[in-house]
Amino acid sequence: MPKVSTVAEQDYLKAIYQLGGARSDVATSDLADRLGVTPGSVSAMLRKLDEQGFVSHAKYRGVRLTKRGTREAVEMIRHHRLLELYLAKVVGMPWDKVHAEADALEHVISEDLESRLDELLGFPTEDPHGHPIPSAALDLVENDYPALAETAAGMRCIVRRVGDRDPELLRHLAGLGITPGTKLSVLEVIPFSGGVRVRIKGTEHIVGLEAAHAVAVEIS
């Protein structure tokens, strides 16, 4: 059976997975927005991936990954998140820069290097932003934590993960002291899209609504 052979194909499969395409249909318009390409380009690539057996694509229905497509996508996610952790933990790169670097490197590392990175890092289970790292067997368990924006006043929370696609947002969250493992108290959910007022280590902060949607928390 053929494997995914190009960077573009790998990017498509990973994007479909991250949009929920292992469990339900993903709209081609959402995929185009995610990848920053035209709908025509999406349609052409999906036809190719469908012919190769990586996706199931029907006009007006959207696209869903097959089992083969899901494994290919999860393998790329494993590469990406191991690389992010290596760049942050070993190289010392700031957490707002590792995503873009890992995006470039994830396509070229060998399975042997992946295995050695895993061992070097102590067989980690999370990347620097709190996202789960798939196992060597490509098992990926993603807990469905609520967003900080979905909490209520009086709740005590532990930050479990943050969105990693926007470097400016990551710098902002780090400035507030919001990283995976941070404990915080929700003081107020400000109405009319005002965000969330929280207390972290005795200091109050306002987390804007967009940022609050990018922070996943566990209610403690």
Query: With bands split at pLDDT 50, 70 and 90, how would you rate the model's confidence at 142?
Result: confident
Query: Per-residue pLDDT for 99 more than 60?
Result: yes
Mean pLDDT, residues 192-217 taken together? 96
- Give me the pLDDT at residue 138, please: 95
In the chain, where are the structural domains located? Answer: 7-65, 148-219
User: Residue ranges of the alpha helices (H) in 90-165?
Assistant: 98-105, 111-120
Q: What contacts 113, CB < 8 A, 6 or more positions away?
A: none
Q: How many residues does the chain have?
A: 220
- For 175, phi and psi rounded to 5 degrees? -65, -30
Mean pLDDT of the chain: 94
pLDDT tens, position by position, 20-52: 999 999 999 999 999 999 999 999 999 999 999
Please compute the mean of the pLDDT values over residues 88-93 and round it to a whole number.
Answer: 97
Phi, psi of 81, rounded to the nearest 5 degrees: -75, -35
Tokens of 13: 């499969």
Burial of 29 (0-12, 13-18, 19+ CB in 10 A): exposed
Confidence of residue 59 (pLDDT cuts 50, 70, 90): confident
Question: Does the reported pTM lie above 0.95?
Answer: no
- Coil/strand/helix, residue 11: helix
Q: How far is CA 99 from CA 19, 44, 85, 186, in A?
A: 17, 27, 10, 29
Mean pLDDT for the stretch of residues 60-86: 95
When the candidates are 2.30.30.90, 2.60.120.1440, 3.20.20.70, 3.10.450.40, the CATH number that belongs to 148-219 is: 2.30.30.90
Q: What's residue 2's pLDDT?
A: 58
Assigned token pair, 184: 């915080």
The number of C-alpha atoms within 13 Å of 201 and in the hemisphere containing its C-beta is 5
pLDDT in tens, 12-23: 999 999 999 999
CATH class of 7-65: mainly alpha
How far, in Å, CA of 199 to CA of 78, rounded? 34
